[in-house]
Amino acid sequence: MSVSKMLVAELAQLCEITVDEIDLDTPFTNYGLDSLRAFDLICALEDEYKIEFTDEVIPQLKTARQMVEYVEKLANC
């Protein structure tokens, strides 16, 4: 599964919306993603791709596209 598809599926589940409602360039806050759900999303990505998000970068990742690009870079996808 691609990083994008995995992230969208996880985000949809956490925010209780359909995958079709997610746009990669829409800020996470527009989906009601709070800090607890964001932590769950990050943990799922770290587990799936065997990577580690740094505390410095997390606040900079405001959209799914930014997060996908970060994961792909770390995981060499």
The boundaries of the domain holding residue 18 are: 3-75
Domain count, the chain: 1
Name every residue whose Cβ is closer than 8 Å to that of residue 26 and which is 6 or more positions away in sequence. 63, 64
Q: pLDDT tens digits, residue range 3-60? A: 999 999 999 999 999 999 999 999 999 999 998 999 999 999 999 999 999 999 999 9
Q: What is the pTM of this model?
A: 0.90
- What CATH number does the domain containing 36 carry? 1.10.1200.10
Which residue bears the tokens 């799914």?
64
